[in-house]
Chains A and B, each alone.
Chain A
Amino acid sequence: MNQERVQRRGGSADQVYKGVLAAAAALVFVFVALIVYEVARGAELSIRTIGWKFLVQTEWDPVADKYGALPYIYGTLVSSLLALLMAVPLGIGSAVFLAEIASRRVGSIVSFVMELLAAIPSIVYGIWGFFVLAPWLRTFIEPWLIANLGFLPLFRGFPFGIGMLNAGIILAIMIIPTIVSISREVLLATPATLREASLALGATKAESIGVALDAARPGILGAIILALGRALGETMAVTMVIGNTNRISLSLLDPGATMSSIIANEFTEATGNLYLSALVQIALVLFAVTIVVNALARALVHFATGGRRDAAGAA
């Protein structure tokens, strides 16, 4: 075995290595393309029969073979938005505390617990939401909301305990760990010199945290996008607590339904070609909504950061 041979073999090994890795990366695209193809094929009948009205019709009636997805699109978007409204301030707040204020020891213990929270199966969240959160909402929170904030259309109706509000809270709890752990990592990765410089210029602790947060902004927005992705697609937990009613109601106390919940509910017992096809089309719409929402969120990141990916903005 002479030197040349080793080099030549090394060269071809490199090629193979590169090839294998490239193939692995390409596989992701193949899978996505296959999923889109299969789903589009399954939805073809429904797309041809119902057309674009599928997106704006509110009726979902398997008996009459009439299908419209608007209540489900609405439910998915509203429940996810509600979750973000609750989870973002809480998540960023605790990330700041863990990264900037708490001692390293406390920080790592709390983030360890946070990561455990992220590993809990969604059915467990669903059961908790159904058996613990729902009675609590029904007896304490919702009657109070109706009595005191009932002048808003958001809080009118009957205290069911389950419904859009419950789904939003469950989703918020589910996505907080994502926001906290990524935001904390990003904050920890911002250079200490930033804080030192701002403190040296006479900034208060709060102001120097503001500087660090500003530097970490792209990463934190990335964390929020990831969390949003989980909220949009979450199925089991939401199905258990949202009330599964295909009506669009402004009130957060009313039951609703999401795109993933209607699929989970009706797919196994769906007979009839158009019915099945309509359910598959819901999956296609969910796919499209996820892409659009993610694209919008990425555009927002780009806009909010002026395209910079400095500090720990790689997330």
Chain B
Amino acid sequence: MIRFDRRLTALTLAALAALVLSAGIAGAATVNLTGAGATFPYPIYSKWFDMYHEKTGVQINYQSIGSGGGIQQVKAGTVDFGASDAALSNARLKEMPRRVLHFPTVAGAVVLSYNLPSVTQPLKLTPETIVGVYLGKITMWNDKRIAAVNPGVELPNAPILPVHRSDGSGTTNIFVTYLSAVSSEWKELVGANTSVSWPVGIGGKGNEGVAGLVRQTPGAIGYVELAYAKQNKFAVAHIKNSSGNFVEPTLASTTAAAEGASAALAKDVRTPIVNSPAPNAYPISGLTFLLIYQDQKDPVKAKALADFIRWAITEGQDVAESLDYAKLPAPVVKVNEATLMTLTVTGKRLLAQK
């Protein structure tokens, strides 16, 4: 009996050792990265992670818990990277334990959708009219300020119901950043954030909440993501950009907005791309970012992360448009590549110059 027990013990030990060994080998073969944050880019990120896993075997787990949560987790050091629809302000950057780098991955646009059954051609809006509507100063659809840029369009004598997102979101941030950029009055009274104190209107939860309210209520106007509006075929307004052109929100005009802002992005990649100076740019556009620490602790993970980012901003861009995200223009890819070169591992440069 005793001898048998001993043999059993030996067997068990051997099995355990084999298990540990194999786990060790497996651990060395695959790199696991974890990330958390924004929900807006989640569809393309999960596509990228799948594609990248097939290509390289690197496993990336992503929790789309919201930009705020992503930033908190980066701060706490519980994830390898964060994702946010809004760049960190200087104050937030200072709260971080180490220097955090921003990598824009794709661009998105925020569109104004409206419910005006009598209007068949696309509505045209100027920055002044959008600010006026959301400040409660333009209250009727047949206001002469709206009629002036929509000649020949029969605007109803009906009240305007402005709808906004009730939940904190990157979409709201892009929209109010735009309003702050085009109106000093908005900047002073309301400002920009993922949630703001809205002077007028009602709030719907999520893109679907805003879209639902707009669809149900004649006279309503609300802002949603371009991808959401495209997929649901909403009527969307053409917006007058800083060059004076009325631009339809499309993936191309969103990429153009990022391209137009690329000089500013090269100086500071966190600069909002709203109200871009490019003549064909859709003005209410924004970038979404990956956030990682400049100085990494684990060389294997750091390399994997850098390789992934380089892949995502180049090859990965090819799938962006099929998922209704706007591609990064070439100058912004360059900015990202320059940022990648500044990565270090415990003080030493991670990537060699090309």
Interface of A with B (CB < 8 Å)?
Answer: 59-64, 130-131, 134-135, 138, 158, 160-163, 239-240, 243-246, 255, 257, 261, 264-273, 276
Given A138-B216, A160-B161, A161-B217 in contact, is the A63-B197 Cβ separation under 8 Å? Answer: yes
Given A240-B209, A265-B166 in contact, is the A62-B204 Cβ separation under 8 Å? Answer: no
The answer to the question of B130 belonging to the interface, with a C-beta cut-off of 8 Å to chain A, is: no
Taken residue by residue from 211 to 222, chain B's Cβ proximity to chain A (1 for < 8 Å, 0 otherwise) reads as: 011001100000
5 additional A-B pairs beyond A162-B202, A269-B168, beta carbons within 8 Å, are: A161-B217, A245-B201, A266-B167, A268-B68, A269-B68
CB-CB under 8 A from A134, the residues of chain B are 216
Contact A162–B213 (Cβ < 8 Å): yes
Q: In chain A, what residue has the closest Cβ to B196?
A: A63
Question: How many pairs of residues, A versus B, come closer than 8 Å at their CB atoms?
Answer: 99
- Shortest CB–CB separation between residue B97 and chain A, in angstroms? 14
A240 vs B191: C-alpha distance when bound (angstroms):
25
A18 vs B77: C-alpha distance when bound (angstroms):
45
Contact B195–A268 (Cβ < 8 Å): no
The answer to the question of B190 belonging to the interface, with a C-beta cut-off of 8 Å to chain A, is: yes
A19 vs B161: C-alpha distance when bound (angstroms):
62
Residues of B in contact, count (CB < 8 Å)? 35
Interface of A is mostly: loop
Instruction: Provide a sorted-by-A list of 27 A–B residue pairs whose CB atoms are within 8 angstroms.
Output: A62-B168, A62-B195, A62-B197, A138-B217, A158-B159, A161-B216, A162-B202, A162-B213, A243-B203, A244-B203, A244-B205, A245-B201, A246-B197, A255-B202, A257-B203, A261-B166, A264-B205, A265-B166, A265-B205, A266-B167, A266-B195, A268-B68, A269-B68, A269-B170, A269-B195, A271-B67, A271-B72
- Shortest CB–CB separation between residue A134 and chain B, in angstroms? 6
A110 vs B193: C-alpha distance when bound (angstroms):
50
Contact B205–A160 (Cβ < 8 Å): no
Contact A269–B217 (Cβ < 8 Å): no
What 6 pairs across the A-B complex have the smallest Cβ distances?
Answer: A269-B168, A244-B203, A244-B166, A268-B66, A63-B191, A61-B197
Q: In chain B, what residue has the closest Cβ to A158?
A: B159
CB-CB under 8 A from B205, the residues of chain A are 239-240, 244, 264-265
Contact B66–A269 (Cβ < 8 Å): yes
The answer to the question of B92 belonging to the interface, with a C-beta cut-off of 8 Å to chain A, is: yes
Contact A272–B92 (Cβ < 8 Å): yes
CB-CB under 8 A from A272, the residues of chain B are 92
Contact A269–B167 (Cβ < 8 Å): yes
Taken residue by residue from 160 to 198, chain B's Cβ proximity to chain A (1 for < 8 Å, 0 otherwise) reads as: 010000111110000000000000000000111111111
The answer to the question of B127 belonging to the interface, with a C-beta cut-off of 8 Å to chain A, is: no
Contact B167–A271 (Cβ < 8 Å): no
The answer to the question of B257 belonging to the interface, with a C-beta cut-off of 8 Å to chain A, is: no
- Shortest CB–CB separation between residue A126 and chain B, in angstroms? 9
